[in-house]
Amino acid sequence: MSVLLTTIGLGKSYGGVQAVRGVDLSVTTGSIHSVIGPNGAGKTSLFNLISGAIRPTAGRIIFDNRDITALPAHRRAAIGLGRTFQNLALFRSETVLENLLAGCHAGMKTDPLSVLFALPRAGRAEAKARDEAEALIAWLDLARVRDSAVGSLAYGIQKRVELGRALAMRPRLLLLDEMVSGMNTEETAAIARLVLRINQSLGITVLMIEHDMGIVMDISDRITVLNFGEPIAEGGPGEIAANPRVIAAYLGAAA
C-alpha cells in the first residue's frame, strides 16, 4: 500500500527543551494510525508540526510525495490536511450549519472578485457549499440541532460539529486530537463508530492522538508510541500491548 504521510527525523526544540525529537512516522493511505504516549510525550506538538501550526527545528514532512515542511498551515489544509483540536475551536455563538459552512467556505476556490460582484460562479460555489454542509449535517446525525448555537449544545455534540467542520474541508488525511476526551462511555462508543465510518465509508486516512486505549486497540491499524518527545515503539495493536518499553513508559518504570 502507498504511504500518504511521512516524517523524517522530525524535531522541535524550545531553547534547551526538546518537545519532539527524531520522529520517523509513516502513515499508510486508507489506514487508521494512532499516536499514543503519557502526558507530555509530545503528541500534540507532533500534530502541530504536521498541520503547520508550528515550524520544525529539524527534519522533513512529506505529504503525498510532496515536501510540505515549509508550507504554511492554510496551504496544507488546501491540499488535504484536516484537523480537530483537543480544546474545541468552534464559533460558539454561530449555529451548527454556520460552523459547517465555515469549513466548506475554507475549501472554496472562488476568487474575491467573483464574490464582490456576485458573479454566477460565486453563486454556484455558495450553493454547492450549502449543499455539502446540509449533507454533512445529515451524515453526522445533526439535523435536530442544525439551527442551534453551538455553545448551547452538549460537549459530545460539539465534538461532532468540530469533526464535521474538518470533514467539510474535504481532507485526505484527518488529524484527530483527543476526540473522546471528557466523554461518557456512550458518547465514546459513538465517536469510535463514526471514526470507522469516516475511514471505511469516506475513504479518509486517519491519524489520531488518543488516551482511551480501548478505542486505540479496537480501531487502529498501526500505533506509534511517543515518550519524552521521541518514538519508542511502533506496530499493530497486539505488538504494542505486549511491548515492554510501552508498558514501562505508562507505568513510569525504567525501560
What is the structure's pLDDT at 81? 94
What is the structure's pLDDT at 98? 85
The rounded distance, in Å, linking the Cα atoms of 78 and 81 is 7
The three grid cell numbers given for residue 191, joined into one nine-digit string: 465517536
What is the structure's pLDDT at 86? 63
What is the structure's pLDDT at 160? 87
Mean of per-residue pLDDT scores for the chain:
86
Helix residue spans in the chain (DSSP H): 43-51, 73-78, 96-106, 112-116, 120-139, 155-168, 185-200, 213-219, 237-242, 244-251
What is the structure's pLDDT at 161? 87
**Closest to 224 (Cα-Cα) out of 34, 19, 50:** 34
Beta bridge partners of 206: 32, 174
What is the structure's pLDDT at 123? 59
pLDDT tens digits for range 201-250? 999 999 999 988 899 999 999 999 999 999 999 999 999 999 999 988 87
pLDDT tens digits for range 41-57? 999 999 999 999 999 99
**205, 31 Cβ separation under 8 angstroms:** yes
**Which residues in the chain show pLDDT less than 50?**
110-118, 254-255
Reported pTM: 0.86
The rounded distance, in Å, linking the Cα atoms of 47 and 176 is 9
What three-state secondary structure class fits 232?
A: strand
**146, 136 Cβ separation under 8 angstroms:** no
**Closest to 170 (Cα-Cα) out of 103, 91, 70, 97:** 103
Structural domains of the chain sorted by starting position, each given as residue range(s) with its CATH number in brackets: 1-80+171-255 (3.40.50.300), 91-170 (no CATH)
